[in-house]
């Protein structure tokens, strides 16, 4: 096994209409502390636990500094897709229940709007792909239905644009979707916009400093092509980037750097290998180029921009499908990854990571040969 890739030993199967990678039952993580890379600062500490274990939920930093955890799945069939939601308070380190969704779901999106409300869109309840969208009001602590998506979809992306609208792109509703639509908070409705050049699911969307949205990789249903597209809010259209990506991948991370470039790291290849390769998108040249490799091949991980300008890569699957405790920091100045001083407290993938206003990162839930209620904080 090379450090460049890790073979997926699970099998692809259908769980309640959503394709996932079969999880292995290995209990141990793979340590990267002895790989001879210089250690990077930062440690992990435990914090309060969720009231309900969950994975494939969403986590949204609210205007008041709290974090809204919504929906997800905690196993045992369609009945265990979740409608519940919780709030994390950084001041107390505790989670508390808040209002519940009107429609249970996982694999959905959550977007903080300029009003301070949160748009919950798409996803699946284990039996159907839902077009239902809802708004969470932090002042009332409740969810209310809003306009309906033109196309039901899961594993899509949602991006807040500079004009206050939200771009919903791609996904799956029994077939991979190329269409996109815009949510208008002023009217509470969705309207179609231009379609991507190819259908994509499990892709990533990144708002660039120019106001355009970079769509990277994702599966078409028959391949994971090394392609990317740019959405222009001015024209409502998608266009292919000038240069192809270095690698085809899904389930990767994409993080906007202070320089305006985008770091794309890890993910899963069409041939079933988790990837250690990383690349940078340059919006000026409109091209991609390789950068340093992750110390561990991983997908289903998180990539979080820190106040230092570095990017925290946490957890995910790779050689151990039960998840990693190992975390790494990408240094844009050096173009390299280095292990954090301390490891995560729990093996996890399918989790969320949210940068808090106190410069810490909240890591919540996920999977580790079982569904997790635990949470931890990364302290730079």
pLDDT in tens, 278-297: 999 999 999 999 999 999 99
pLDDT value for 78: 64
CB 366 within 8 A of CB 372: yes
User: Residues 228, 245: contact at Cβ < 8 Å?
Assistant: yes
Adjacency order of strands within the sheet including 375-379: 43-47, 375-379, 361-364, 352-355
SS (H, E, C) 80-130: HECCCEEEEECCCCEEEEECCCCCCCECCEEEECCCCCEEEECCECCCCEC
- The structure's pTM equals 0.90
Q: What is the pLDDT of residue 362?
A: 98
Ramachandran region, residue 164 (left: φ > 0; alpha: ψ -120 to 50; beta: rest)? left
Distance between CA atoms of residues 178 and 29, nearest Å:
37
Q: Which helix (H) or strand (E) holds 146?
A: none
Sign of the alpha-carbon dihedral angle for 111, 117, 122, 127: positive
Q: Which tokens is 329 given? A: 């920091």
Please state whether beta strands 213-216 and 204-207 pair in parallel, antiparallel, or not at all (unpaired).
antiparallel
Element (H, E) at 135: strand 133-137
CA-nearest of 101, 190, 83 to 144 is: 101
Question: Domains, the chain, ranges and CATH?
Answer: 31-379 (2.120.10.80)
Rounded CA separation 320/204 (Å): 23
Give every residue of the chain whose pLDDT is below 50, as ranges: 1-39
Q: Under 8 Å CB-to-CB from 321, ≥6 apart: which residues?
A: 8, 9, 10, 21, 22, 23, 24, 26, 349
List of residues 6+ apart from 66 with CB closer than 8 A: 87, 88, 89, 90, 138
pLDDT at 66: 98
Alpha carbon distance 378, 333 (integer Å): 22
């Amino acid at each position: 096994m090379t450090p460049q890739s890790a073979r997926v030993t699970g099998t692809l199967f259908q769980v309640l209409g959503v394709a996932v990678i079969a999880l292995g039952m290995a209990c141990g993580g793979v340590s990267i502390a002895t790989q001879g890379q210089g250690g990077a600062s930062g440690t992990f500490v435990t914090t309060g636990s969720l009231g309900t274990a969950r994975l494939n939920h969403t986590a949204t930093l609210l205007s008041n500094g709290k974090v809204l955890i919504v929906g997800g799945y905690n196993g045992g069939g369609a009945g265990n897709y979740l409608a519940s939601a919780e709030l994390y308070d950084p001041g107390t380190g505790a989670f508390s229940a808040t209002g519940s969704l009107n429609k249970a779901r996982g694999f959905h999106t959550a977007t903080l709007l300029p009003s301070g409300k949160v748009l919950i869109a798409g996803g699946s309840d284990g039996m159907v792909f839902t077009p239902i969208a809802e708004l969470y009001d932090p002042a009332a602590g409740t969810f209310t239905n809003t306009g309906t998506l033109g196309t039901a979809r899961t594993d899509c992306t949602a991006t807040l644009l500079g004009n206050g609208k939200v771009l919903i792109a791609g996904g799956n509703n029994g077939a991979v979707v190329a269409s996109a639509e815009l949510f208008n908070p002023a009217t509470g409705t969705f309207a179609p916009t231009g379609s991507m050049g190819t259908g994509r699911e499990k892709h990533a969307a990144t708002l660039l400093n120019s106001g355009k949205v970079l769509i990277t990789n994702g599966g078409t249903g028959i391949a994971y092509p090394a392609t990317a597209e740019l959405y222009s809010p001015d024209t409502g259209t998608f266009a292919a980037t000038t240069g192809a990506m270095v690698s085809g991948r899904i389930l990767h991370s994409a993080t906007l750097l202070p320089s305006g470039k985008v770091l794309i790291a890890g993910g899963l290849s069409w041939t079933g290998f988790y990837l250690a390769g990383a690349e940078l998108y340059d919006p000026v040249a409109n091209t991609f180029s390789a950068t340093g490799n992750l110390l561990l091949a991983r997908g289903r991980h998180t990539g979080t921009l820190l106040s230092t300008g570095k990017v925290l890569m946490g957890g995910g699957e790779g050689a151990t499908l039960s998840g990693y405790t190992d975390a790494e920091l990408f240094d844009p100045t050096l173009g390299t990854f280095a292990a954090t001083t301390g490891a995560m407290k729990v093996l996890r993938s399918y989790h969320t990571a949210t940068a808090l206003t106190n410069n810490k990162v909240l890591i919540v839930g996920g999977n580790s040969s079982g569904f997790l209620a635990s949470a931890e904080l990364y302290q730079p």
